[in-house]
Structure formats: C-alpha cells, structure tokens
A and B are shown apart, each in its own frame.
Chain A
Amino acid sequence: MERWEVFGKRTVDDPWTSVGAVHAPDREMALLLAKESFFRHGEGVDFAVVRLSDLHVFGEREQLEFATDKTYKLQSGYTGMGDKRRRAAARAVEAGAVIDRRRPVDRRVLNPAHRSRTEA
C-alpha cells in the first residue's frame, strides 16, 4: 500500500507544514486516514496529502554540507559580539572620543566614561 505524506495549516495564514504520513490505497482513503490520525483535536484549519512517490527527493546529503568553512553564512560565524563591543568602546576612550549626550536611561552603556550617568 502506498505511503502518503500529510501536510497541515494551523491557521489560514500559515504555510503547509509536514505533520506525518499515512498508508492508504487511494486519495480519498488517505484524506480520511489523515483526518482521523492528525486533525481530530483542532490541530488546524486545513490539511493535504501527497503521494510519497510524487515527492522528488534530492537525496545527496554531502552536497548540502559545507566543503569549506562557510560559518560566515551563519549567526555562529559572528560570536563574541559583547567582547568586541566592549573592546571597541574602550578603544574610543583611549582615543579620547567620549560622547556625553542625553540618551534613554535604559540603554546599556558600554563606554566606562558614561558609567556615572547610569548610576546617577
């Protein structure tokens, strides 16, 4: 018997999201089984089934892995931002570039020259 992938929408604005699979002989039966298996408790506003054989699977995992260091494409490629901010702020003080102008009090102050303002 064929396997059918089941997709659901939680709200009308959501994209189709995979929720599981059912085995069924035809479309009508697949829809019925999908409804009974995945949508009996208000899980969404609509659902759909697709024959597994109609999914064209890429299947070449190694092509999705990075052959070289590509961390510059990821958030994790830019770590230690807090330290970098403090270092650059300290460098500003050393260069004599202190800007003491009114700012919202809840804004975190990295420049030690401003520290008195936040403590006040």
Chain B
Amino acid sequence: MSYETRTAEFKAHLAAGGKVEATDWMPDEYREAALRFIEMHANSEIMGALPEREWIGRAPSLRRKLSLTAKVQDEVGHGHMLYRVAEDLGKPRDAMIADLLAGKTKFHNVFHYPTYTWGDVAVIGFLIDGAALVTQKALLESSYAPYVRVLKRICAEESLHQRHGEDLVLELCAGSDEQRAMFSEAVDRWWEPIMHFFGPPSKPERDMLLAWRLKTRTNEQLRQRFFDTYVPKLWDLGIPIPDPALEYDEAAGEWTWSDPDWDGFWRVVKGDGPMTEARLGLRRRTHDAHGWVREVMNQPARAA
C-alpha cells in the first residue's frame, strides 16, 4: 500500500473518531506534530514549576509552604509523564531535555515572566492553572491515546491545584485592602500574558493540530470557555480586569475582548521573555548539579 493510501486511511480513521496508539502506523507529519506538541507541554510543566518554586521559601505560613511544595512536585511529575509519552514518538528524553536547556524548544509564554508578590502566586494558581485546565480538559478528546491516558491523571491533579489556587485568591480577597490590592495588581500584570496563552484567534483550516485531531478546539473556543468560568468569579470579588472591552455580548453569545500586543507574544514564545534566560539558567545549573543522580540510577544493579 502506498504512503498516500495509508495516509488517506489514517485520516478516515481519525475522522470517524478513531484513536492512535504509539505502536500504530502513522504518517510522519502526524508523528512530528504530536511529538512537538507533547514535548512543548512537557517542557511547560517543568518550566512552569519554577515561578512557584521561587515562592516556597517565602510562603506566608507552614501550610501554604507545604501545599506549594506538593504542587511543584506534582508539576514536575506531569513533565516526566509527558516526556515518557513523547519519547515513544521517537525522540529520546535526553535529547528533549538537552533541547529545552539549549533554548531550542519552546515552553508556554506565561512561564517567561517574573513574580513580584504573593498575589502573583495566587494568579498563577487560580488563573494560569485555570487556563491550563481549560485547555487540558479539551485535550482529553485528542486522537493520540497515550497522551489522553496521561492527561486524565494530570487533569485530576490539576483540579486539586485549581482549588488550591482559588483558596489563595479568596484568602487575599477576603483580607485587608493591602491584600486585595496585592491580588488586583497581580491580575493587572498577568492579564495580557493569559490572553497570549490561548494564542491568537487562528484559522481552523490552517491549524495542523486540528486537522490531525491532536486538538479538537480552536484557540478562540478555549479562550471563551475560560472567560465563562473565570471572569464572573473575578468580578464577584470586585477585582477589575484590565480590558475595557471585556463584556458578555448576549446577542452574539460570546465575550468581546481586545487584542493584546501579539508582537510581544511572539517575542516571548521565541525565548525572549523577561525571565527566559534566568529560568533556563537555573534549570541548567540544577541539571548539571544533579548529574550524579542520573549516573547512579543508570548503573547496572549489583547483586546484593
């Protein structure tokens, strides 16, 4: 059977809602798209743990310190589960980690920014995890079955993180004027990166990830779903959102919003964000310092 015929059959299988296993035949384009997508997701889990890690030492109570530590540990675990899935698509894990450290592969835009106060931790825990949860839940419909299996576990843990994040937000918002201002200022800082996170409104017919059913929702559908859940919650807390156009249009059945600076988005995802170098630098130093652990783990077992 020719490559073209097999590809056509593969597409028909996907169109009928069929799933793909690592051992199944798949077109090279599918393999590459799945690998790149899952690798970036894995990178983002690892790099996404760092902004919160910065706050473990500064958390305001022992319980907050413990819960943040547990969350960071979960995120790193997600990264490793995802590298494991990506690895089966043909790129060794060492190569993926090396490419991340060398700045050759990407991670999500939101993890390229600095954190200034405990308010930023609340925003990350509630809104950024919330945005990630919206996208990850939609990915449970993905055509790549090993990814879906891992996402089920990830989503279960993320919904705990989400609750933890909302708990942080409610504590600040029920608190003093200073605490409320601290959170509100953090929302101001993060709103644009969060809009960037969903990506620019894209043309579905040009999105290869949609064509391969690796994703099933467009950027805009996910952004609207995020608005549905989180905008009313913030407004109830009296926290303004720095977008004067943001409002629900009953007639259109969707939210209106203003375009952020998309040039800034492209700069950041290409690795030119305010904290890109600092965070990658920390990751490189940690990677080198822990080289001995990998060496010991890879030694053949000795007879007891």
Q: Which residues of A contact B (CB under 8 A)?
A: 12-13, 15, 70, 72-75, 77-78, 81, 84-85, 87-89, 91-93, 95, 97-99, 101-105, 107-111, 114
Which residues from chain A contact B149 at a C-beta distance below 8 Å?
13, 15
How many chain B residues sit at the interface, stated as a range, is 35 or more
Q: Closest CB-CB distance, A40 to chain B, in whole Å?
A: 27
Partner of A13, one of B70, B145, B164: B145
Q: CB within 8 A of B19: which of A13, A15, A84, A111?
A: A13
Beta-carbon contact of B167 and A73 below 8 Å: no
Residue contact A89 to B237, C-beta cutoff 8 Å: yes
The 7 sampled A-B contact pairs (Cβ below 8 Å) are A84-B167, A85-B236, A88-B173, A92-B173, A107-B232, A111-B237, A114-B236
> 5 tightest CB-CB pairs across the interface, nearest first?
A97-B238, A92-B238, A72-B67, A88-B173, A88-B174
Cα A81 to Cα B174 with chains together (Å) = 12
**Residue in B170, B180, B249 whose CB lies within 8 Å of A95:** B180
With a cutoff of 8 Å between Cβ atoms, the chain B residues found around residue A87 in the complex are 170, 174
B236, A110: Cβ atoms closer than 8 Å = yes
Binary contact readout B227-245 vs A (1 if CB under 8 angstroms, 0 otherwise): 0100111011111100000
Tell me whether B207 is interfacial, beta carbon within 8 Å.
Answer: no
Closest to A91 in B: B174
- Encode B208-219 as 1/0 by CB contact (under 8 A) with A: 000000000000
- Cβ–Cβ contact A93 & B250, under 8 A: no
Given contacts A75-B160, A93-B238, A95-B238, 8 further A-B contacts (CB under 8 A): A13-B145, A72-B164, A84-B170, A87-B174, A91-B180, A95-B180, A110-B236, A111-B235
Q: Which residues of B contact A75 (CB under 8 A)?
A: 159-160, 163
Q: List chain B residues, Cβ under 8 A from A74.
A: 160
A93 and B180 alpha carbons, distance in the complex (Å) = 12
Residues of B within 8 A of A88 (CB): 169-170, 173-174, 236-237
Contact assessment for A72 and B66 in the assembled complex, using a CB-CB cutoff below 8 Å: yes
Which residues of chain A are within 8 angstroms of B145 by Cβ–Cβ distance?
A: 13
For the residues of B in contact with A, the DSSP-based class is helix
Report the bound CA distance from A109 to B236 in whole Å.
7
Contact B228 A104 (CB under 8 A): yes
Residues on B with C-beta less than 8 A from A97 are 180, 237-240
B247: interface (CB < 8 Å)? yes
Nearest Cβ distance between residue B88 and chain A, in whole angstroms?
Answer: 15
Please give, as numbers and ranges, the residues of chain B lying within 8 Å of A102 by CB-CB distance: 247-250
Cα–Cα, bound, A95→B67 (Å): 29
- Is B166 part of the binding interface, using a Cβ–Cβ cutoff of 8 Å? yes
Q: Which residue of B lies closest to A72 (CB)?
A: B67
**Residue among A87, A88, A102, A109 facing the most chain B CB atoms (10 A cut-off):** A88
> Which residue of A is nearest B253, CB measured?
A104
In the bound complex, what is the Cα–Cα distance between A63 and B235 (angstroms)? 45
- Measured CB to CB, the nearest residue on chain B to A85 is B170
Asked if A78 and B174 sit within 8 Å, CB to CB, the answer is: no
- Measured between C-beta atoms, what is the minimum distance from A59 to chain B in Å? 18
Q: A105 near B235 (CB under 8 angstroms)?
A: no
Those of B9-41 within 8 Å (CB) of chain A: 19, 21
Decide yes or no whether B295 CB sits under 8 A from chain A: no
Separation of A58 and B174 alpha carbons in the complex (Å) = 45
Residue of B nearest to A98 (CB): B238
- CB neighbours of B246 from chain A (8 A): 101
- Tell me the residues in window 152-185 of chain B with beta carbons closer than 8 Å to chain A beta carbons: 159-160, 163-164, 166-167, 169-171, 173-175, 177, 180
How many Å lie between the Cα of A97 and that of B235 in the bound state?
Answer: 9
Check: B148 CB closer than 8 A to any chain A CB. yes
For A107, the chain B residues whose CB sits under 8 A away are: 228, 232
Instruction: State the Cβ distance, B120 to closest chain A Cβ, in Å.
Output: 18
Given contacts A74-B160, A102-B249, contact A111 B170 (CB under 8 A): no
Smallest distance from the beta carbon of A53 to chain B beta carbons, Å? 19
